[in-house]
């Protein structure tokens, strides 16, 4: 029940934000269907390997929007959120459910990725611990 409530909240937030953007700014949302341009393989690869898929499909094939300062910041720091943003702008009018799933994957994937990294960093051996306790005495001889 908790997950369904989160999905409904995310859907409502995206709906309100896109309505505000559409009505009060110059942003024009796309009307094309996702599956007329891409297939299931692209959908699974963008969900699992977002950076690689963005780079290959954007730079080499040209099937998605590519470039710009915000695009590159999203590519390096939060690729799943970049994918969800691009999906919202391009496919909100035709595939709302797909866009909501993109945001769920983006928010869940980014937060779980950061959680795993932070847990590994806590359990990692530290190089410079406090050097308290016994000391090791050594004798040195000076060569002449």
Q: What is the mean pLDDT of the chain?
A: 76
3-state DSSP of the chain: CHHHHHHHHHHHHHHHHHHHHHHHCCCCCCCCCHHHHCCHHHHHHHHHCHHHHHHHHHHHHCCCCCCCHHHHHHHHHCHHHHHHHHHHHHHCCCCHHHHHHHHHHHHHHHHHHHHHHHHHHHHCCCCCCCCCCCCCCCCCCCCC
pLDDT tens digit string along 14-51? 778 777 877 887 767 777 788 887 888 888 888 888 88
Domain spans of the chain?
2-123
Tokens of 39: 């297939």
pTM assigned to the model: 0.62
Split at pLDDT 50, 70, 90, the class of 133 is low
The number of beta carbons lying within 10 Å of the beta carbon of residue 105 is 19
> Closest Cα to residue 68, out of 89, 45, 38?
89
Split at pLDDT 50, 70, 90, the class of 141 is confident
Measured distance CA(114)–CA(3) in Å, rounded: 20
Q: Taking residues 72-88, what's their average pLDDT?
A: 84
């Amino acid at each position: 029940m908790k997950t369904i409530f989160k999905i409904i909240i995310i859907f409502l937030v995206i709906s309100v934000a896109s309505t505000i953007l559409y009505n009060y700014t110059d942003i024009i949302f796309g009307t094309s269907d996702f599956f007329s341009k891409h297939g299931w393989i692209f959908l699974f690869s963008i969900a699992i390997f977002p950076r690689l898929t963005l780079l290959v499909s954007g730079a080499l094939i040209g099937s998605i929007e590519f470039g710009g300062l915000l695009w590159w910041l999203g590519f390096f720091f939060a690729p799943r959120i970049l994918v969800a943003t691009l999906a919202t702008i391009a496919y909100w009018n035709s595939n709302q459910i797909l866009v909501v799933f993109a945001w769920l994957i983006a928010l869940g994937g980014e937060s779980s990725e950061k959680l795993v990294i932070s847990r590994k960093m806590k359990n990692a051996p530290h190089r410079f611990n406090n050097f308290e306790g016994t000391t090791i005495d050594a004798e040195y001889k000076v060569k002449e």
